[in-house]
Structure 1
Amino acid sequence: MSHENSNGKAPAGPRKLICRFRGAASRKVLFILVPAVVALGMVLGYPMYLRIMSHESTDDAFVEAHVVSMSPRVAGHVARVPVHDNQWVEKGDLLVEVDPRTFRVALDIALARKQAADAAKEEAEAEVAAARSLMDQRNAALSSDRASLAQARAGVEEYAAGNTRDESDFKRMGEMVEAGAISRQEYDHARAQAAVSRAKLLSAEKNIDTRSARIRQAEAAAQAAEDGLRQALAVVEKHTADAREAEAEVCQARLNLSYTRITAPCAGHVTKKAVEPGAYVQVGQKLLSLVGRDVWVVANFKETQIASMRPGQAVDIEVDAYPGVAFEGHVESIQRGTGSRFTLLPPENASGNFIKVVQRVPVKIVLDRPNGEAGRLLVPGMSVVPSVNVAHWDGVHGSDGAERARETAMQ
């Protein structure tokens, strides 16, 4: 027998009443939980949002260091390799020694050639001194002959004047002897005197010719001595050049001998050693590398990420090798050019179809502590993820920087 209410419907059962009660309770819980979850999400997500808005990061970043590739400057067989892989060496330590015996012999030969060149130069200089002395003697003889010639010419003038006088006296004596004014003896004496003075004049004139010929011979001898001096000087210049060449060969031989000892140009760890004693090495062949202690990070940021990036901004660095460890650093510099611009074959965008690709700009990040934290090794090639705090702008730090980041996030 059924029971109906005044509306003609059966009264609600206990199960329906319980379902209604549970539905109302669930809605009440949802009304409470949803705002709580939203508030909790905002509390937890807002700082993350602020960090996203105030930091720029990339996973295209790697650890870099000073890496020096060592190669020989001379070819030869390796005599010694006193280092091993990953060994720490100081500046000036011996890394590889090429067999120096051949280069010592070459140095001895160069020294002998230099000694011979120096001896030839000294001999040529002695010949120059002898040639100069001979030239001085010939010039002195020439000067003496010229003085004698001048004196002889003065004597000719004197003898000519005496001869003229004696000839005049003899002529007058001839007239006087015909008139009987003088004796025949006096006339003969005048004639003899005139003949003597004429003979002296002729002898003086002959002496001038002789001395002139002697002067010509002396001039030729002086010219020959001067030519000999010039030739000796030319020989000295040649031997001087030979001596300089020999000295240069000695210097080159000494350099080659010094090149047999390959020493460390800086302190660092020996890496990728590819040389052993007894091997024959060529000039320029890579033997090993030295990795310095100082490291830094080169991060390739997208060109759209560097608008607010400046040197000096703080950087948090995560290294894949050390998860959960944050390294601190700062931006040192930003490369003036994208990575593709400095490749071996830069893209030629003016020809063919152009497809725009976001470029990467290398940014150098320096660690605040040398080689990171103590006990954690950072080596070139390690992958890192740097996050640059771009909210740091023109020396703005702390609350001002955070406030600017919040303002940026709220916009």
Structure 2
Amino acid sequence: MELLLGLLLGVIKVIGILFLLLLSFAIYYDLSRSKIPSGFDSPLKLRVIHCNVIMVAIVGKCLELLGVCREVAFIRFIISLRNLRVDPSLSAKDLHFDGVPVRVYQPKAPSAAPRKGFVFYHGGAGMIGSIESYQDVSSKIAKETDSVVVSVGYRLSPEHLPPAQHMDCLAATIHFIQNAASHGVDPSKIIVGGDSAGGNFACVVAQKLVERSDLPKLRAQVLIYPNLQAMDFNLPCHQQNNSMPIFFWEKVVYYGLKYTAKDPSLAGQLLKGSHVPDSMRLKYGKWVSPDNIPERFKARGYKQVPLAPYEPEVYRQLPELLESDISCLFAEDSVIQKLPETLFVSCEYDIIRDDGLLYKKRLEDHGVKVSWFHVENGFHGVLNFFDVSLFTFPAAVEMMDRIVEFVKNL
């Protein structure tokens, strides 16, 4: 018995030492690599969150190297440990829409008229995130807007490579539109939306539905700091927020390559822009131009960096990154002008802030009605911290309130 107790204490001691080493490295990495601008109002809170993200990533990478599991699988597991409850005023049903898993959140109180519908696509770089991890977001929108919210559990990469993600989102959305009445929803009042990668999928879905004359038109789209172009990674947001937790500049490209199962060694060429053919530079340059970004977003520093010379071999390995199914900013004018009313939510300290600003201008130039809310103290991923006890960010609360206000007023 004493021997077993001694072994147990020894194991606990080793685990404790390993944890302290891991925590120490995470703190060192954060302090040495992160650069939080002086204008940000909650630096300590963000650093604590970032240290946790670093530790999870390190453990995941070690487990992958040891052959235990993939890094992304471990990250998904950790995220799944967060216990999020459905508001008691709502019912939540797990269903399948055209084979795609969804969770339908619906107010329990009866409604005299058909409700609005909101199809939500979660973020997570197309590789992590789930219906469960966004249950608080979906519940909040459903409750506060008295809408039926459909949270889509699309397939994840790398098990399922693009275009599986947006195809699932599209299939589930079409099914919902076609069967809206059975869920107490007015099919002419359906909104699509999402954050980060989910915002990208919302863009793709909205663009693909504009030509569907057999379906009611979408009422609106809600785009929360979406990633919308893979041509220029030296815009003002990239230079200003390149070391802002929790999403560094190089991580934008790293996750993009992981998502599409491309060679990580291409990251350098992608960041420089050598993957963009001259013909595309000529065609798309006017849409990605920093001239389309308001001057106020260059005040924290910006130096224009031209794209590196074109390397055909690099493009040959990455052609889909510049197609409109990923780079939604590059959709044709005939598609853009038919898009529904749009809410853009951008964050000052977001590494991909300017993607939304560029897309916003394209829509406005083509007569699309656009509402815009800019979160001055927001960062990429802040939406997930609108109700996390001590780690709640006022910026996230403000963001959620504006999203709710927009949907209610449609």
- Bigger radius of gyration among the two: 1
Q: Which has the higher contact order (CA 8 A, sep 6+)?
A: 1
What is the TM-score when the length of structure 1 is the normalising length? 0.17
What is the TM-score when the length of structure 2 is the normalising length? 0.18
